[in-house]
Amino acid sequence: MEDRPGSLLDALRPAIKTGWRALLREVPAVPPGSANLVNSGMLVLMVDHTLDRLAARLREPAAADRERHDLSPFAGMSRDCHCGLNLLLGYYEAGARALRESVPEELGPARAEMMDRFNQLAHDEMLALCNVCHFRNGPQFNHRPGTGPPPA
């Protein structure tokens, strides 16, 4: 794969970071009654590392048979998050919005590839966290409004 999306990410990185960090201030805090080990303010510390990982993914060749995550990448994760406490949902939603707002639509395929790789990264990270959640086999609780269907 040519490095156009990677170069594009490098050029737009300051704007993406600024937008992402501003959007993270809007991410709701962990719901009351849950373990407050991480809060949305701490998530800003992950932005550089996540953008580094995105840059690395953009340099990898695309697999022809990979699942695309460019339409509604977080809908499935929001619905599948059993407890609604996964702060990465808000973190990656803010990141996706920052990318959409910072990367011009006129860049077409390069923009689409960047969004797809970002969404793959987000999906992988959120799934990994949900897979180790100690609420995953218990009753659904503290479901964050707006993150999918309400608890049954």
Nearest to 50 by CA among 126, 133, 105: 126
What is the mean predicted confidence (pLDDT) over 65-85? 59
What is the residue-averaged pLDDT of the chain? 75
On whether the CB atoms of residues 40 and 29 are closer than 8 A, the answer is: yes
Domain range list for the chain = 4-28+40-60+69-131
pTM (2 d.p.):
0.76
34 or 5, which is more confident: 5
List all residues 6 or more positions away from 148 whose beta carbon is below 8 Å from its beta carbon. Answer: 75, 78, 79, 80, 81
What is the mean predicted confidence (pLDDT) over 141-148? 44
Tens-place pLDDT, residues 83-99: 666 778 888 889 999 99
142 or 68, which is more confident: 68
Amino acid identity of residue 134, one-letter, is: H
How far from 18 is each of 39, 50, 53, CA to CA, in Å?
19, 14, 18
